[in-house]
Amino acid sequence: MSNEEQKAPEVEIEEQQSPEAEPESVETEEPSVESLSAALAEAEATINDLQKQLAELEPRAQAEILNQRRRAEQEVDKARKFALERFTNELLPVVDSLERAIEAAVGEDDAIMTLREGVEMTHKLFMDGMAKFNVEVLNPQGEAFNPEHHQAMSMVDAGDAEPNTVVAVMQKGFLLNGRLIRPAMVMVAKG
């Protein structure tokens, strides 16, 4: 190809890209003073109406904003209080196992006594740590049956106990910040 053949298409492209267009002429009329005054009066009336509507809506809007803020604060507070619930539920079997180990360590042998003391100290440390995070133990032995905190496993005849009184605790319950995370499994005296 020669140099002239290569230049020709470029020239054509340039001509296509830059067509000359004539600008359209737009005639504008200047508005009259009367029409501007009418438009201004109409705009001022619209502004006054909107200000009245805003004044009526403002107390409701403020109340709604306060309610939303209060709800958000309550949700954050609940999230903070009960964030440990799942973690605590995972640790409850450890507490049960430590208590069973203490109950099983029966005997006068020095090795058994040493083992029992070690498990008791571990259990105490564990329970003190849980108490720091507002985990409370429900041990309702001898108390009246409370269906909100207790789960009745069976009803038994207990001659000396009053009806609907917890006579035996099979598994202790737990509260986290006052919310039940595990009910106490109990045996209740028949009425």
pLDDT tens-digit series, residues 35-82? 888 999 999 999 999 888 877 777 787 788 889 999 999 999 888 878
- Tell me, what's the pLDDT at 27? 56
Instruction: State the pLDDT at residue 20.
Output: 52
Confidence of residue 101 (pLDDT cuts 50, 70, 90): very high
Q: Give the per-residue pLDDT at 25.
A: 52
Q: Which pLDDT score is estimated for 15?
A: 47
- Proportion of the chain above pLDDT 70, given as a percent: 85
> pLDDT at residue 118 above 50?
yes
Q: Residue ranges of the domains in the chain?
A: 50-83, 84-133, 135-191
| Beta-carbon contacts of residue 151 (< 8 Å; ≥ 6 apart) | 173, 183, 184, 185, 186
Cβ atoms of 112 and 144 within 8 Å: the answer is no
pLDDT value at position 18? 47
Phi/psi class of residue 134: alpha, beta or left (left: φ > 0; alpha: ψ in -120 to 50)? left
Confidence check: pLDDT of 117 > 90: yes
pLDDT higher at 107 or 129:
129
- Distance separating the N- and C-terminal Cα atoms of the chain: 113
Per-residue pLDDT tens over the stretch 153-180: 999 987 788 888 999 999 999 999 899 9
Mean pLDDT, the chain, rounded, equals 84
pLDDT at position 148 over 50? yes
Determine how many CB atoms are found less than 10 A away from the CB of residue 140: 19
* Torsion angles phi and psi, residue 180, rounded to 5: -70, 125
Using only C-alpha atoms, the chain has a radius of gyration, in whole angstroms, of 41
Stronger pLDDT, 10 or 102, i.e. the higher one: 102
Angle (CA) 85 122 110, round 5°: 155
Mean pLDDT, rounded, for 3-20: 49
- Reply yes or no on whether the pLDDT at 26 is more than 60: no
For residues 66 and 59, what is the distance between their CA atoms, to the nearest angstrom?
Answer: 11
Portion of the chain with pLDDT greater than 90, in percent = 55
CATH class of the structural domain 135-191: mainly beta
More confident residue, 189 or 23: 189
* Res. 34: pLDDT tops 90: no
